C-alpha cells in the first residue's frame, strides 16, 4: 500500500510539472542553438561554386579551373572536405588584382 502511495505522489508531481510547462512556463533547456545563430550572423557568407559562377556569369568549370593549385594567380578558396567554398571579401580582392593587371 505504501509503495502505491509513493508512485501516485510522484505521478502527481510529474503531472504538475508538465502542466506548468503547458501553461507557458519557461523550459529549462533552450530549444534554439544560439551559438549557431550568432556564428552565422557574424561570419562572412561562404559562396558555393555554383553561386560564384552565377555571380561572375561564367561556367562552373571556369571556377574550378581558376581554383586549381597549378595556376599562378588562383581564385582564393576554402576546402571543406571535397567541397570548395569562397569568402566574399577574398573574391572581391581577387577581382581587384585581376582588374589591375
**Model pTM?**
0.55
Q: Model confidence over 28-80: pLDDT tens digits?
A: 555 555 555 445 544 568 999 999 999 999 999 999 999 987 878 889 999 99
pLDDT band at 18 (very low <50, low <70, confident <90, very high): low
For residue 19, the model assigns a pLDDT of 53
Residues listed for the chain: 101
Domain extents in the chain:
2-39, 44-100
Higher pLDDT, 10 or 99: 99
| In the predicted structure, residue 2 carries a pLDDT above the cut 90 | no
Q: What would the grid cell of residue 85 be?
A: 567554398
Residue 94 near residue 76 (C-beta atoms within 8 A): yes
Residue 63 near residue 52 (C-beta atoms within 8 A): yes
Amino acid at each position: 500500500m505504501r509503495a502505491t502511495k509513493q508512485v501516485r505522489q510522484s505521478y502527481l508531481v510529474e503531472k504538475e510539472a508538465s502542466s506548468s510547462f503547458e501553461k507557458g512556463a519557461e523550459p529549462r533547456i533552450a530549444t534554439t542553438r544560439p551559438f549557431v545563430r550568432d556564428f552565422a550572423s557574424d561570419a562572412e557568407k561562404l559562396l558555393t561554386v555554383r553561386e560564384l559562377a552565377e555571380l561572375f556569369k561564367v561556367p562552373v568549370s571556369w571556377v574550378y579551373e581558376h581554383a586549381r593549385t597549378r595556376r599562378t594567380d588562383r581564385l582564393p578558396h576554402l576546402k571543406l572536405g571535397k567541397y570548395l567554398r569562397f569568402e566574399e571579401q577574398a573574391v572581391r580582392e581577387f577581382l581587384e588584382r585581376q582588374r589591375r593587371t
